[in-house]
Amino acid sequence: MKFLCISAFMIAATSAFAPASLNTRSVSTQLYGEYGASSTSFYTTTEKQDSYASLEEVLAEKCSDDKVKQVIVDMLDVCADITEALRTALVTVEDTSNEFGDTQLSVDMVADALIWDAVKKSSVVREGASEEDPIVRDVDEGGEGEFTVCWDPLDGSSIVDNNWALGPWICTKKLVKISEDSKNFSPANLRAAQEVPGYKKLVDYFMDNRYTLRYSGGLVPDVYQQFTKGQGVFSNPTSKDSPAKLRLAFEAAPFGLLVEKAGGLTSDGVTGGSILDVVITGVDQRTALCLGSKNEVNRFNEYLEL
């Protein structure tokens, strides 16, 4: 049995290439003049091309396993369905909570239902598990599926009603690289700084050295910016009164894989080792996490004495 951890709004980053038709720096200059935007603003380095690779072409080049390709296509297809649903669905609080105690929103349940439909129809998926209902369930009546797919249907749903960043990752570069150093920081679980002196010292270091705060409260946008800006660090340690919330199978492991593939580093927040070395023992398993630019993750380990 092969195990895949997939955030429904994350998988596009690993396989899809989309055009950026114009360089935004030139557009900004045309509209607002040479000084029309902040000097710290990010501008895409993607150059206009006569043609762009299709998803099928990218998968043909990057993935030799036809069944893995099919899982990716199935998940990307349902991402399009979720996008359409988000444009029309009213964000309301349901009179339910998931197994982790999180309040469920209407959009959570809509997205989850769409993904369950997709994996049940897939010819290569045997089992599925959702963060909204963290039980591994058999979805393959024919018994020919090979993959167990684990997903968070809508990462960042807690900020969707604020109209904050939420959506698929669209990769516009053939090579995504995270540099060793960073000047952006995303400090999650700041409550832990009250009990973990090293974390408070680390946050003070970021502030004293004029790092730029870039934190939204949604793991997808907070990690996605590391790929667009080419640097950054996301930190989420734990303490007795502020325990781990991130799920290893649904969130930490998938993001950790992408960050390390882009040249970044990860820490499990306990031993200081890679989050990818932590053995998944259950879909409800939670973990501390730090990931991003190599030197910043090493600094996290140093300050927390891991």
Per residue in 185-233, pLDDT (tens digit) is 999 999 999 999 999 999 999 999 999 999 998 898 899 899 989 999 9
Is the pLDDT reported for residue 33 higher than 70?
A: no
pLDDT for res 102: 57
In a 3-state reduction of DSSP, which class is residue 274?
coil
Is the pLDDT reported for residue 165 higher than 70?
A: no
- Top-level class of domain 184-303: alpha beta
Tens digit of each residue's pLDDT (9 = 90 or more) over 123-163: 999 999 998 888 999 998 777 899 999 998 887 767 777 77
Tens digit of each residue's pLDDT (9 = 90 or more) over 262-306: 999 999 999 999 999 999 999 989 999 999 999 999 999 999 999
Please provide the average confidence, as pLDDT, over all residues in the chain: 82
pLDDT for res 83: 83
Query: How would CATH label the architecture of 2-14+53-162?
Result: 2-Layer Sandwich (3.30)
The distance of Cα 92 from the centroid of its chain, to the nearest Å, equals: 24
pLDDT for res 98: 53
Burial (Cβ within 10 Å: 0-12, 13-18, ≥19) of residue 234: buried
**pTM of the model as a whole:** 0.80
Same fold flag, 2-14+53-162 and 184-303: no
User: Tokens 């990769």 — which residue?
Assistant: 171
Joined together, the tokens standing for residue 26 give 């030139």
pLDDT for res 106: 78
- Are 102 and 124 in contact, with CB atoms under 8 Å apart? no
Burial (Cβ within 10 Å: 0-12, 13-18, ≥19) of residue 233: buried
In a 3-state reduction of DSSP, which class is residue 262?
coil
Query: Averaged over 29-54, what is the pLDDT?
Result: 53
pLDDT for res 221: 87
Percent of the chain residues topping a pLDDT of 90 = 55
Give CA–CA dist 27/109, Å, rounded.
Answer: 39
Q: DSSP of 12-74, one letter per residue? A: HHHH-B----S-HHHHHHHHH-TTSS-TT-----PPP-S----HHHHHHHH---HHHHHHHHH
Burial (Cβ within 10 Å: 0-12, 13-18, ≥19) of residue 213: exposed
Percent of the chain residues topping a pLDDT of 70 = 75
Is the pLDDT reported for residue 89 higher than 80?
A: no
| DSSP bridge partners of 147 | 2, 125
Domain boundaries, the chain: 2-14+53-162, 184-303
* Between 133 and 15, residue with greater pLDDT: 133
pLDDT band at 95 (very low <50, low <70, confident <90, very high): low
Give CA–CA dist 190/106, Å, rounded.
Answer: 28
- Are 111 and 85 in contact, with CB atoms under 8 Å apart? yes
Is the pLDDT reported for residue 46 higher than 90?
A: no
